[in-house]
Amino acid sequence: MASMIHTEHLTRRFRTKEKNELIAVDDLSIDVQAGEVFGFLGPNGAGKTTTIRMLTCLIAASAGTATVNGYTIGQHNQQIRQSVGILTETPGMYDRLSAAANLRIFAHLYGVDDVESRIARYLRMMGLWERRDGEVGGFSKGMRQKLALARALLHEPQILFLDEPTAGLDPEAAHMVREFIAELRRQGRTIFLCTHNLDEADRLCDRIAVFKTRLIALDTPTNLRRKLFSRRVVFHLRAMAPVFVTAVQAHDFVDEVQTIDNKLVVRLRDPEQHNPALIRALVAAGADIQFVGELRYSLEDVYLQLVHTSEAPV
């Protein structure tokens, strides 16, 4: 699979007012594959927006290199800007102009063919066609965010950089934006997504990088859970008895057993393989099993564990 974004030791340093050196992004090396939604997660001030600004050639890197859509930053900046779309956390608009006029300006800047048709397509897609002649200054936060997303897509780039695309949106607008991101993924677009909404990242992202000036971890959400947390299966029983604990502990693939009311919480390495044997053992011991589930760790659990732990798997 082709790599649409590739960085090697990408670094950005700033000078503070006191002439001290501040490292915002330190030695970042990642690959983002074609057609994936790549989540870039980290606390405020971690360097996420700085990374996007380097990859979209809005600022220069202090060290290292990167290619975006086959173009090298610092050498092919204009080609990179032409081939990507970007949605910033606080997108600037011309408030006294209409939605259509705002898009018309950017369509001409990007050299879009058939400007009016393209504007109509994305305003309809975002549910803004009826407000196309309304001044943007009178738009709600959600409407402005939809318009900014339409602007990022006008020239139909293969790579989209989205910085907090649902921040401050009401639930309905946020749902619409998430559905739209999922549709873009189905179309084969590559999306570099910065978000503080961890449930959103869990649902949308193929892989996730946790970042705090340096890369802490990079993998799929499922693999990150498995690296950090053992899997625990919960057997819900009609009633609890010590013999049920003994029956489960007799198996060498069981690492730990806990009882919580009428529930057995069992830590084991491969639930798919070993659950049937445990169910048979419990039934043989006289247990009435009401249902079986797995204790699921959220992406928030993973994120907090990584960010607050100095040593984490990459």
97-114 mean pLDDT: 93
- Does the pLDDT at position 173 exceed 90? no
Half-sphere exposure of 187 (CA within 13 A, CB side): 15
> Which pLDDT score is estimated for 312?
46
Q: Give the residue from 54, 50, 147 showing the smallest Cα distance to 106.
A: 147
pLDDT tens, position by position, 138-153: 998 888 888 999 999 9
Domain 3-220 -> CATH class: alpha beta
Higher pLDDT, 16 or 154: 154
Among 186, 169, 8, which residue's Cα sits nearest to residue 89? 169
pLDDT in tens, 241-260: 999 999 999 999 999 999 99
Q: Within its chain, how far is the Cα of 254 from the centroid?
A: 34
Q: CA gyration radius for the chain?
A: 25
Instruction: Give the CATH number of domain 230-296.
Output: 3.30.70.100
Mean pLDDT over each residue of the chain, to the nearest integer: 92
What are the tens digits of pLDDT across the range 14-29? 987 777 889 999 999 9
200, 297 contact by CB (below 8 A): no
Domain residue ranges of the chain, discontinuous segments joined by +: 3-220, 230-296
| Mean pLDDT along residues 56-61 | 96
In the chain, the percentage of residues whose pLDDT exceeds 70 is 98
% of residues, the chain, pLDDT over 90: 74
Q: Cα 151–154–157 angle (5° rounding)?
A: 110
Supply the DSSP symbol for 135: B
**b/e per residue 209-235 (b: at least 16 CB within 10 A):** bbbbbebbbbbebeebbeebeebbbbb
Q: Kindly list the distances between the CA atom of residue 169 and the CA atoms of 141, 146, 281, in Å, as whole numbers in the listed order.
A: 7, 10, 50
Q: Structure pTM?
A: 0.84
pLDDT at position 145: 87
